A and B are shown apart, each in its own frame.
Chain A
Amino acid sequence: MELCSEEAVRLVWEGAIPLQIHLHESEVTTLPPPPPVLILGPRIGYLPLLVTVIKPHFNDTLPPGVDSVWFDYKGLPLKWYIPTGVLFDLLCAEPERPWNLTVHFRGHPGEILTPCGGEDPVKWSFINSLKEAAYIINGNCKNVMNMSQTDQSELWQSLAKGNMESYTRVSSRLKLGPYGEDAVMRMSTGRIPIRLYLRILGEDVDDLEDVTTIDSWDSISYINRPVEIHNEEGHYITFRSAMRTLLPEFFDDEASAFDHVLVPRGDYEIDDGIENTEATATDFVSTKSQSPKKVNEIKLIRIQGIEVDLDIPFFWMVNNLKNPEHFLHICVFMVPALNPA
């Protein structure tokens, strides 16, 4: 069965969030105030990389001073080292299009956010994440540390420009994937890089529109922890099994053999517009249909804008939906139990 899909990866690379960027009112010194900028933010990119395009629109109206750029969404300062797509999936329970953000060039909140003066901090953050992923997968980061300056530069530029072919050419030399039948056996550590963002909703809501926006990053539990795969589990472990290793208390049904029974009906096909549709494992005949009692209820799980089904093969998900630094970013919306156990 096909665990890699170039088409899926391309759709991820081409995915973008329509953004409407407003300059913060305290930094508008001219009348009339400048209109907001409409721009596409690549899902796999980072907000500071958009500043060179945004700034010219606001240059003439900025107060004197040194630039220290930062963004906020409804008052929440945005962490620039989190990919744009992940920020959107996490902070907009009900997707808002365009996504209205505010840009600031002054008054950086240094006690909450590390500063980002340009492209370099973003590049280093990216390279460090790549090193971390390499360490998780191989047990060392030699392949990344030994990259030539040229390769490193090309890798970063390809990401910044959204050039998938050029990126794949350099990154394939790092040998960090893909996961599949043979690769499982070859994996040195059996560990897969995951970054999980757990958003605990205040109360159960039927409609995502009713979810209140968060005002502090303390409302998000960030779990940077690899999933460990043991070879005896086989090649087609489900996403559910993987999630159970990270959040065991949210999947308190007994681990059943049915987690691994998937009868594929041909290759897994993707619809166009993968970003907006629910990708369900309709091509699989699952023999499991029990509804487990959960103490805390998972409302929804979003990866690259897709509301994912728990029965999707985990390796397919990782190979095709991961970000370029080889981390799979998972946004989980959860309602806590009324009577915690």
Chain B
Amino acid sequence: MGDQSICDGSLSADDFYVAAKSLCELWQSANTSLPNWTWIPFKRIPTGISCNEGYLSLENVFHVKSSKELVSSQDLFQEEQTVDSATVVQVPSSVIHAYDFHIIYSFSYRNPVLYFHGHKYDGQPLALDDIQEDLPEYSLKLIRESKWTFITFEEHPYLHQPWYMLHPCGTSEWMKLLIGGALHGNPYPANYLVSWLSVVGQAVGLRVPSSLTSSCFNDASSSSIGPSL
């Protein structure tokens, strides 16, 4: 089963759990200022037998207008503190958007899928127009040019509320290239999500710490691979 997945870029549900645990550990040890990914156990069938079912959560990541990437709350306040007190530049709270990200396994596509939503500083949810202002330029390009919707508003599979979702169709194809090229000596599926997130994260401005990606691609070249969704 593992061999088949390596060949076609997909992931079984059990492997997703392994990959998720691995991402949590690697992310934590990377000492990034971003908050940690957490595994949230969740059973779709309340009375069902216990198994490793759940999803990954990364919450309270902030986007400041005109910045390129997402930061933690610590980074936000640090920015204010380093400024010369004679010219105190406050970051107006009106330009701070808070985001939550969930990585959820799709049985249909046999891939992880990224769900996310955002709020303004006053708690008001962000509409797609607001979110698009925060996205990197190439994501906007994809949204404009793609015949098929790239970001859709869907029901969260576990929380039963509307969240935004990055469309998973095509994931297996580029994961096949990504993993296939960097396979030597790398444990599969432990590094699946790190590899996946290094691409998908770029679409939403979530940067994967380089210590994670270099440990995954230690044999192959570590040139960045852009999303080819």
- A residues near B (Cβ < 8 Å) are 79, 81, 110-114, 124, 128, 131-132, 135-136, 139, 141, 145, 193, 198, 200, 217-218, 221-226, 247-249, 296, 336-337, 340
Bound complex: CA A135 to CA B108 (Å): 7
Within 8 A of A (CB), among B85-109: 107-109
In the complex, are the beta carbons of A222 and B157 less than 8 A apart? yes
Nearest chain A CB to B96's CB is how many angstroms away?
21
Query: Which chain A residue has the least Cβ–Cβ distance from B167?
Result: A128
Shortest 4 CB-CB contacts between residues of A and residues of B: A225-B107, A114-B162, A336-B47, A249-B49
Residues in B neighbouring A296, C-beta threshold 8 A: 47
**Contact status of A113 and B47, CB under 8 A, knowing A135-B109, A193-B108:** no
In the complex, are the beta carbons of B162 and A113 less than 8 A apart? yes
Bound complex: CA A124 to CA B125 (Å): 23
In the complex, are the beta carbons of B148 and A145 less than 8 A apart? yes
Bound complex: CA A175 to CA B171 (Å): 23
Extra contacts besides A145-B169, A218-B160, A224-B108 (7): CB < 8 Å: A112-B161, A112-B162, A113-B162, A124-B149, A217-B160, A222-B44, A336-B46
Nearest chain B CB to A328's CB is how many angstroms away?
13
Query: Which chain B residue has the least Cβ–Cβ distance from A81?
Result: B155
Bound complex: CA A325 to CA B207 (Å): 37
Residues in A neighbouring B48, C-beta threshold 8 A: 247, 249
Bound complex: CA A336 to CA B43 (Å): 15
- B residues near A (Cβ < 8 Å) are 8, 44-49, 107-109, 125, 147-149, 152-155, 157, 160-162, 169
Kindly identify which residue among B45, B147, B153, B169 contacts A141, using a CB–CB cutoff of 8 Å: B169
Nearest chain A CB to B95's CB is how many angstroms away?
23
In the complex, are the beta carbons of B47 and A200 less than 8 A apart? yes
14 contacts between A and B (CB under 8 A): A110-B125, A112-B160, A114-B153, A124-B149, A124-B152, A131-B148, A132-B109, A136-B108, A221-B45, A222-B157, A223-B45, A247-B48, A249-B47, A249-B49
Query: Which chain B residue has the least Cβ–Cβ distance from A225?
Result: B107
Nearest chain B CB to A214's CB is how many angstroms away?
12
Kindly identify which residue among B45, B125, B154 contacts A198, using a CB–CB cutoff of 8 Å: B45
Nearest chain B CB to A233's CB is how many angstroms away?
18
In the complex, are the beta carbons of B169 and A131 less than 8 A apart? yes
Residues in A neighbouring B160, C-beta threshold 8 A: 112, 217-218
Residues in A neighbouring B45, C-beta threshold 8 A: 198, 221, 223, 247, 249
Residues in A neighbouring B47, C-beta threshold 8 A: 200, 249, 296, 336-337, 340
**Contact status of A132 and B49, CB under 8 A, knowing A79-B155, A217-B160:** no
Nearest chain A CB to B32's CB is how many angstroms away?
31
**Contact status of A135 and B169, CB under 8 A, knowing A114-B154, A114-B162, A124-B149:** yes
Residues in B neighbouring A248, C-beta threshold 8 A: 49
Kindly identify which residue among B46, B162, B169 contacts A200, using a CB–CB cutoff of 8 Å: B46
Bound complex: CA A247 to CA B44 (Å): 11
Residues in A neighbouring B46, C-beta threshold 8 A: 200, 221, 336
Bound complex: CA A222 to CA B155 (Å): 11
Bound complex: CA A340 to CA B46 (Å): 11
Bound complex: CA A337 to CA B46 (Å): 12
Nearest chain A CB to B109's CB is how many angstroms away?
6
Residues in A neighbouring B169, C-beta threshold 8 A: 131, 135, 141, 145
**Contact status of A223 and B108, CB under 8 A, knowing A110-B162, A114-B154, A128-B152:** no
Residues in B neighbouring A139, C-beta threshold 8 A: 8
Residues in B neighbouring A110, C-beta threshold 8 A: 125, 162
Bound complex: CA A24 to CA B169 (Å): 40
Residues in B neighbouring A340, C-beta threshold 8 A: 47
In the complex, are the beta carbons of B44 and A226 less than 8 A apart? no
Nearest chain B CB to A205's CB is how many angstroms away?
17
Residues in B neighbouring A217, C-beta threshold 8 A: 160
Bound complex: CA A20 to CA B107 (Å): 37
Bound complex: CA A340 to CA B108 (Å): 30
Residues in A neighbouring B149, C-beta threshold 8 A: 124, 128
Q: Which residue of B44, B125, B149, B154 has the most chain A CB atoms within 10 A of its CB atom?
A: B44
Query: Which chain A residue has the least Cβ–Cβ distance from B10?
Result: A139
Residues in B neighbouring A131, C-beta threshold 8 A: 148, 169
Nearest chain A CB to B166's CB is how many angstroms away?
13
Residues in B neighbouring A113, C-beta threshold 8 A: 162
